[in-house]
Amino acid sequence: MKNFALIFAAVCLCAASAGFSARAAEPCMHPAMTATVLTAPTCTREGTQLFSCPRCGFSYVGAAPKAEHTPQTVPVIPPTCTENGLSGAAVCAVCGEMLSAGEILPALGHSFGAWETEKTATWVSGGTDRQTCIRCPETRRRTTQKLTHLAEEKCPLGDTDMDGAVTAADSRLILRLSVGFNDGLDTLQKENADLDKKDGVTAADARTALRMAVGLEQIIPFLKPGYTFKGYTKNNYKLAEKDGVTYVVSDYGYTLIANKTYSLPASYTPYAFKGAEPEPDSLLGLTEECRAAFSDLQSGAKKDGVSIWLLSGYRSYNRQKRLYNNYAGRDGYAAADKYSARPGHSEHQTGLAMDVNSLSSSFAGTKEGRWLAANAHKYGFIIRYAKNKEAQTGYIYEPWHIRYVGKDLAAAIYHSGLCLEEFFGITSVYR
């Protein structure tokens, strides 16, 4: 009993020292808990910490909140030709989490530079051009057309690139061709490079072309095989000769000329006749093209209520000789020369000319004559010896005499108001 009393007294003293009354113990409210970090938190996970009451010793383990991110600005990612870029983005320097999306910079697209020749086009085949992006290695290509040149009639002999003139560049092409370098020339150009038409293309041809380019030799126009260059007309058309027959070479083709200046051989005929020579009032002596055109002309006249018929077509050299001599014997040579051609100088011998309807000057005033004057060119014919052109043609006005020259040339002459001699710049004078 004595021991119990001592223990009770000790408990009471302890309770008094702890602030409790002897009557009842009050619970601790843990007014100021202290925290001790056990596991440090990061920006991606919580940590742990120990909470303790300094008064009563009570403690427990709780979560430590995540740490704040550490912002770091992402360097600008520039856009490329094909991919978007990024500006103003931010990430956490610790965990790398995207904190700010930033602004998307759209792809730039390719920016191609100038076209460059990758494969040179020639007169035989096309070439290739290449274009490269100035920001990246991307390239694109296009096919170029093969080179073109003027028509052969527009190019003088030696004009190897066929641009219409003989230059030092042509001489170089010919020289390279002579030693085996083709340079993509086509067949026509190779033929044009052979100036002397013998032994193929040689260095001598290149020398001749160079002399032509600097004016030391006459430039010879390119002509069809068999034609010989005879110079230029006053209007700068080429004159060519084949088998003794003269032609004016132009954009309208090779126009046969027979007048007082330019004659035909006695043996010339439009084509090889089978059997006897055709009569003058027969269409058989005319060229096939001329016959077809005259047939169209007659059909056109008929539709307009007009009748056109043939009086005299082809005449041979000998027939014209007899006719001219008869006129000269009757009226004298000076008078006959005004209305009749000497043998070899008559257009009737060409098979391209004819007299129609009436050999009277009054024919011009008839409805047939007026129709012919106004419409012949539509079918390829011209009134060959026009009114008030005697000084140029060498003959009196013949409204009945028509000459086939082709529709394009006939229309050009008709609308020019010129006769054939004036149009081409040639003379018609006996020498």
CB 322 within 8 Å of CB 348: no
Distance of alpha carbon 96 from alpha carbon 76, whole angstroms: 16
- φ, ψ (nearest 5 deg) of residue 300: -65, -40
Tell me which residue of 403, 384, 382, 402 sits closest to 392, measured CA to CA.
384
The token pair that represents 236 in the structure block: 């700068």
Sorted by sequence, the CB contacts under 8 Å of residue 261 that are 6+ apart come out as 426, 427, 428, 429, 430, 431
CA dihedral over 200, 204, 207, 208, signed as positive or negative: negative
- 398 annotated active-site: yes
SS3 193: helix
**Category of 40 on φ-ψ map: left (φ > 0), alpha (ψ -120 to 50) or beta:** beta
CB 121 within 8 Å of CB 146: yes
Distance of alpha carbon 280 from alpha carbon 320, whole angstroms: 11
**Roughly how many angstroms between the first and final C-alpha of the chain, as a whole number?**
182
| CA angle (270, 378, 254) in 5-degree steps | 40
CB 368 within 8 Å of CB 335: no
DSSP H helices, 179-307, are 187-193, 203-213, 288-303
The token pair that represents 41 in the structure block: 């938190």
Distance of alpha carbon 290 from alpha carbon 315, whole angstroms: 15
* Residue linked to tokens 């000769």: 241
Distance of alpha carbon 1 from alpha carbon 23, whole angstroms: 22
Please give the helix or strand (H or E) that residue 115 lies within, else none.
none
> Catalytic residue among 138, 241, 277, 398, which?
398
Tell me the chain's radius of gyration from C-alpha atoms. Answer: 54
Where in the sequence numbering do the catalytic residues fall? 398
